[in-house]
Amino acid sequence: MLALAACLSFGQAMPSRHGAFAVDAGTGGTGSWGWAEGFSRPTEAADAALRACRGPGNAGGCAVVLRFQDACAAYALDARGDFAIHGAAWGAGIADMREKALANCRIRGGARGECVVRASGCAAPDTLPTSRVGNVWTLPKGELVPGRRFRECAVCPELAVAPAGVFAMGAPMAEEGRYPDEGPRHSVAIGSPLAAGVVEVTFAEWDACVAAAGCGGYRPADEGWGRDRRPVINVSRQDAEAYAAWLSAKTGQKYRLPSESEWEYLARAGTETPFHTGATIAPTQANYDGGASYGGGVRGAFRGRTLEVGWFRANAFGLHDVHGNVWEWVQDCWNAGYDGAPADGAAWAEGDCAKRVQRGGSWSNPPKDARSAVRNWRAAGYRDPNSGFRVVRELAP
């Protein structure tokens, strides 16, 4: 177990109400958490957080990683669960504290945007934990609730649990670069939480499938750009389905491609702007053709290839690279608009099913084609260096 007994400490202001956050350091980020606040002494807050962390389902190993006073607080951790790379912050303004926690995490070695905020809040933690008793919040070990990140095997993709919700699918009429097939805008309900790949499926994950006699033994070309943590490319929709089937058989869980509406819901992560980054986007936020700009944004580099997954900051659901890098296959048949589209998150199984939908844009596209609402189609068996995918995993009700 990594040594976390030494707590992060911060300068004391006026005597006030104290809070603390504790985490189980021995589980790679899937263990229990404890958040406590409103105590008159810092030791009381720390003890309460530790007790919450050591609750049912956790054998121990918790340590306090954050102390704070009457303030907003945030704790960030390396996305791969390396507890040697972490950062915390407390003060005024939750957005500022998240940014400071991420910056502190990256200073410790979380390069290329690998750090993610694991818990944050002001009056209460707004991401984790979830179960409340008085002024103490607990997330039991292994509970798959929104905000949880987990991985079911060493070669399986890391997943983040997104909440159920309702969103407006498609682009408003006035959105810059809007194509006719992005409407009519309509409401879609995602009725249950869903676990989604934190990043696009990588070459390393695909090659593990091939090594285990899965994925039809197909070893796609990497175009000389490298394998490992780069997104797998030159894969068709049928290839993506073969990978999901192998993963399902390996884990005993239901893995699949997202439906088109699930994909857009996951990409937007509560936003209604063209990108999860807002009204515009920059080449420092996604991998696309930076020679073009969008919405008054800046121009930048055209990298001409994929980048390693997770290079850029995640959206509010903890998902990276939903804009650019590679087009992502989804389940749906192609329809040139949303008239008659399912409103419950299901895949659209009618239309031109020889053509299948892709979402998100790629490294070769301008930013207008990497918007959350943009749609693309390819023949189901088509393979090219712009096409990849991410998986979702269904959760038991």
Query: Residue 310: is its pLDDT beyond 80?
Result: yes
Please give the Cα distance from 303 to 385 (Å, whole number): 14
Rg of the chain's alpha carbons, rounded to an integer? 21
CB atoms within 10 A of CB 185: 16
Residue 154: pLDDT band with limits 50, 70, 90: confident
Which residue in 223, 185, 217 sits closest to 326, CA to CA? 223
Please give the Cα distance from 367 to 142 (Å, whole number): 38
The reported pLDDT for the residue numbered 378 is: 98
Q: What is the DSSP letter of 189?
A: E
* The token pair that represents 261 in the structure block: 């509406």
Q: Quick one: average pLDDT of 302-321?
A: 92
Of residues 234 and 316, more confidently modeled: 234
The reported pLDDT for the residue numbered 57 is: 57
Query: Residue 1: is its pLDDT beyond 80?
Result: no
CB atoms within 10 A of CB 59: 12
The reported pLDDT for the residue numbered 102 is: 85
Please give the Cα distance from 227 to 79 (Å, whole number): 20
Which residue in 169, 141, 150, 114 sits closest to 309, CA to CA? 114
Per CATH, the number for 196-394 is 3.90.1580.10
pLDDT in tens, 317-351: 989 999 999 999 999 999 999 999 999 999 999 99
Distance in Å from the first CA to the final CA of the chain: 33
Query: Residue 306: is its pLDDT beyond 60?
Result: yes
The enclosing H or E element of 209 equals: helix 203-211
The reported pLDDT for the residue numbered 2 is: 28
Could you write out the DSSP letters of every residue in 131-158? EEETTEEEE-TT---TT-EE-SSTTSPP
Q: Quick one: average pLDDT of 140-161?
A: 82
Residue 365: pLDDT band with limits 50, 70, 90: very high
Which residue in 45, 105, 50, 47 sits closest to 74, CA to CA? 105
Does residue 378 sit in helix, strand or coil?
Answer: strand
pLDDT in tens, 223-258: 999 999 999 999 999 999 999 999 999 999 999 999
Residues 6+ positions from 14 with CB-CB distance below 8 Å: none
List the domain boundaries for the chain: 18-142, 196-394
The enclosing H or E element of 43 equals: helix 42-53
% residues pLDDT > 90 (the chain): 60
Please give the Cα distance from 289 to 361 (Å, whole number): 10
Query: Residue 114: is its pLDDT beyond 80?
Result: no
Q: What is the DSSP letter of 227?
A: -
The reported pLDDT for the residue numbered 13 is: 41
Residues 6+ positions from 160 with CB-CB distance below 8 Å: 147, 148, 149, 195, 196, 198, 317, 318, 319
Of residues 3 and 265, more confidently modeled: 265
Q: Are the CB atoms for 391 and 256 separated by under 8 Å? A: yes
The reported pLDDT for the residue numbered 56 is: 62
CB atoms within 10 A of CB 129: 26
% residues pLDDT > 70 (the chain): 88
Cis peptide leading into 129, omega within 30 of 0?
Answer: yes
pLDDT in tens, 71-109: 888 888 776 666 677 888 888 888 888 888 888 888 877
Please give the Cα distance from 178 to 155 (Å, whole number): 38
* The token pair that represents 82 in the structure block: 């390396």
pLDDT in tens, 53-74: 887 656 567 888 888 888 888 8
Please give the Cα distance from 200 to 229 (Å, whole number): 9
Average pLDDT over the chain reads 88
Could you write out the DSSP letters of every residue in 88-104? EEEES-HHHHHHHHHHH
Please give the Cα distance from 297 to 193 (Å, whole number): 34
